[in-house]
Amino acid sequence: MSENRFKQLACAAIDANREELIGIAAQLHAHPEIAFQEFEAATL
């Protein structure tokens, strides 16, 4: 697979899951955890 094709597939996957990814980012931002103690983040 060419690098360009890989980028296209990655971008398509990100676009298809945009709302879910934004929600996860908001959850992580709202509930920060200390490194190696990420219990809530691990469940997302």
pLDDT at residue 1, rounded to an integer: 84
Q: Please indicate, yes or no, whether the overall pTM of this predicted structure exceeds 0.75.
A: no
As for how many domains the chain has, the answer is: 1
pLDDT at residue 3, rounded to an integer: 95
Phi (first) and psi of residue 32, to 5 degrees: -65, 150
pLDDT level of residue 15 (50, 70, 90 thresholds): very high
Per 3-state DSSP, what percentage of the chain is helix, strand, and coil (rounded to 5)?
70, 0, 30
Instruction: List the domain range (segments joined by +) for residue 35.
Output: 3-43
pLDDT level of residue 30 (50, 70, 90 thresholds): very high
